[in-house]
Amino acid sequence: MNVKVRPQLLSLKAYTPGKSSEEVQREYNLEKIVKLASNENPYGTSPLVKEAISLNNFAIYPDGASTALRKEVAEYTGVKEDQLIFSSGLDELIEIISKALLDENFNTVMASGTFPQYRHNAVIQNAEIREVPLKNGRHDLPAMAKQIDDKTQVVWICNPNNPTGTYVDDKELEQFLQSIPSHVLVVMDEAYYEYVTAEDYPETIPLLDQYDNLMVLRTFSKAFGLASFRVGYGIGAASFIQQLEVVRLPFNTSVLAQNAALAALGDLEFVEKSVSLNAIELQKYYEFCKQHQIDYYPSQGNFIFISIPGKESAEVFQYLLERGYTVRPFPNGVRITVGTKEENEELFELIEKIVLIAH
């Protein structure tokens, strides 16, 4: 094969989804598989979504401007319609922003130990990547600010951070925004926004009036339970959003995705219920971890990062997998999506056994 991709792609791996639940179930002869690896909503989706997703004409393109959804999201978030851009999940919006802002002449600043798509897209764009280690699992904003220079185009702040669940608070963020030059786009990835309970978590939408270099990312994949449909959105200065629109594919969100998101917005009670159950279950995780001397970060998302002293995360992952629970392993711990009460109780029993082996 003489066709060659650009050299920077050679250092990247394509996303590998891992074994399907069916494969794992067959391999280990399991009655069921509980997927707690990708931070989906364990309570599913609002029943209104099912009613809303019938199509009567498959041959017609979707509304490329997402007009109806735009109106509802503008109302839900309290912004103007022209401040919004829609995407096929936030994965695509991260790609759009990277394409619009990054190439070999620029750099981008992010945490190391955060959502991997910021880095992945920066590599594709051949931009210089400046990664700043997390400090106690949290973004170190003063250290990130120090990495910024006149070639910096975008800073990524994952808030709450995936995989640690930690957050940047309102004071830290304001100090950071005041301290950096206005040519730098600050992306606040708030994929888990609806789950947040901390009182000093920054409300970023009001800050958009003050900082036109700020952009907020939200998704329907998590608390709204629509991960399979792929709908996310960004909020920013209207003039900047207009420029990003140039990069967006014309029909990037399908008719079904737009209709599903609209229906989900019509059932905020479902979201509230999911969020309050998540908070209750997270508390149980904290108590469980304390009781068993398991290290963890308090989380603002629907997941928790834990580390069992004396146990390799790959071993913990494999042990749970063979017993029907899929979680996400990292070098220094595992990230577990907070499941339903029953799922969590079963998982606690399994983890208790690992702890006993470890001690």
Ligand X SMILES: Cc1ncc(COP(=O)(O)O)c(C=O)c1O
Supply the minimum distance, in Å, between the C-beta of residue 37 and ligand X. 10
Q: Which of 228/291 has CB closer to ligand X?
A: 228
- How many residues in the shown chain lie near ligand X by CB under 6 A? 13
Residue 154 found at the interface with ligand X (CB under 6 A): no
Q: How far is CA 103 from CA 10, 90, 99, in A?
A: 17, 20, 8
Supply the minimum distance, in Å, between the C-beta of residue 189 and ligand X. 5
Residue 313 found at the interface with ligand X (CB under 6 A): no
Supply the minimum distance, in Å, between the C-beta of residue 179 and ligand X. 24
Site string for ligand X, 265-304 (x = CB under 6 A): ----------------------------------------
Is cis: bond before 62, omega within 30 of 0?
Answer: no
Task: Supply φ then ψ for residue 40, to 5 degrees.
Answer: -80, 175
Stretch near ligand X under the rule CB under 6 A, chosen from 86-94, 236-244, 255-263, 292-300: 86-94
Residue 89 found at the interface with ligand X (CB under 6 A): yes
Residue 221 found at the interface with ligand X (CB under 6 A): yes
Residue 24 has which token pair? 């794992």
DSSP 58-93: TTSPP-TT-HHHHHHHHHHHT--GGGEEEESHHHHH
Q: Which of 24, 33, 34, 39 binds ligand X (CB under 6 A)?
A: 39
Among candidate residues 184, 214, 220, the one with its CA nearest the CA of residue 202: 214
Supply the minimum distance, in Å, between the C-beta of residue 7 and ligand X. 27
Residue 227 found at the interface with ligand X (CB under 6 A): yes
Residue 95 found at the interface with ligand X (CB under 6 A): no
Supply the minimum distance, in Å, between the C-beta of residue 318 and ligand X. 22
Residues with Cβ within 8 Å of residue 297, at least 6 apart in sequence: 137, 164, 165, 166, 304, 305
Dihedral-angle region of residue 197 (phi above 0 means left; psi in -120 to 50 means alpha; beta otherwise): alpha
164 touches 138 (CB < 8 A):
yes
